[in-house]
Chain A
Amino acid sequence: RKEVEQDPGPFNVPEGATVAFNCTYSNSASQSFFWYRQDCRKEPKLLMSVYSSGNEDGRFTAQLNRASQYISLLIRDSKLSDSATYLCVVSLSGTYKYIFGTGTRLKVLA
């Protein structure tokens, strides 16, 4: 079983739609969680950290479910510019090493 698993997609959604991605992780000792965004042939960029209480940044909402060991990302009112690959990232307690999922591709269609 992979340490971090994501549905590769692609998720094809119309502009204005709401879309959600889930990510599961295998190690219950994981403590830090992030969503990164990667555009085609570009480096990953931090989208948002994921906190236990959940957090929101504009149209983006991240949630953590420790009991079920998954994190989610919700994007409301999708824009064409949201088209990218979204990478789920976890890190174990007290370590520096990030474990990346293989990403979920999102295509927002006009």
Chain B
Amino acid sequence: GAGVSQSPSNKVTEKGKDVELRCDPISGHTALYWYRQSLGQGLEFLIYFQGNSAPDKSGLPSDRFSAERTGGSVSTLTIQRTQQEDSAVYLCASSPDDGYTFGSGTRLTVV
């Protein structure tokens, strides 16, 4: 596609439920990143993929968070047993080398 596509754009879930967030990067971009942005906060790095492997998962806040990427393309970020502090906008970006292109994000609200 022309840009980075994320789905769903909005997700409201009950505390304790699992959610899956999807990212479809720009075709040909080997690097893929997940960030999250809480209200009034800066972007917080979560995980980086190069192809299908994740050399850096250091930003994942807890073991409730996991991510995978298949076929060097689509990535899924899974949050298990969601908590209210997980409420944020989850942004995916892809990159060839220099400069990220972000998707429009998934706004997650845990109630």
Interface, chain A (partner B; CB < 8 A): 4, 32, 34, 42-46, 49, 87, 96-103
Kindly report which residue of chain A lies nearest to residue B100, judged by CB atoms.
A98
Pairs across A and B, CB under 8 Å, 12 listed:
A34-B99, A43-B91, A43-B104, A43-B105, A44-B91, A49-B98, A96-B56, A96-B95, A97-B48, A97-B56, A100-B43, A103-B42
Structural contact, A46 and B45, CB atoms closer than 8 A: no
Structural contact, B42 and A96, CB atoms closer than 8 A: no
Give the distance in Å from the alpha carbon of A102 to the alpha carbon of B100 in the complex: 17
Shortest CB distance A89–B (Å): 9
A-contact bits for B92-103, CB 8 A (1 contact / 0 none)? 000100111111
The answer to whether the Cβ of B41 comes within 8 Å of any Cβ in the partner chain is yes
Neighbouring A residues of B104 by C-beta, 8 Å? 42-43
Q: Which of B42, B50, B105 is close to A102, meaning CB atoms less than 8 Å apart? A: B42
Structural contact, B102 and A97, CB atoms closer than 8 A: no
Neighbouring A residues of B100 by C-beta, 8 Å? 44, 46, 98
Give the distance in Å from the alpha carbon of A87 to the alpha carbon of B99 in the complex: 13
Structural contact, B48 and A87, CB atoms closer than 8 A: no
Q: Which of A32, A42, A49, A101 is close to B42, meaning CB atoms less than 8 Å apart? A: A101
Structural contact, B102 and A45, CB atoms closer than 8 A: yes
Kindly report which residue of chain A lies nearest to residue B56, judged by CB atoms.
A97
The answer to whether the Cβ of B26 comes within 8 Å of any Cβ in the partner chain is no
The answer to whether the Cβ of B108 comes within 8 Å of any Cβ in the partner chain is no
Neighbouring B residues of A97 by C-beta, 8 Å? 33, 45, 48, 56
The answer to whether the Cβ of B31 comes within 8 Å of any Cβ in the partner chain is yes
Give the distance in Å from the alpha carbon of A97 to the alpha carbon of B100 in the complex: 10
Interface-centre pick from B41, B56, B102, B105 (highest chain A CB count, 10 A)? B102
Give the distance in Å from the alpha carbon of A96 to the alpha carbon of B99 in the complex: 10
Known contacts A43-B102, A43-B103; 14 additional CB pairs below 8 A are A4-B42, A42-B104, A43-B104, A44-B100, A46-B101, A49-B98, A87-B42, A96-B31, A96-B56, A96-B95, A97-B45, A98-B100, A101-B42, A102-B41
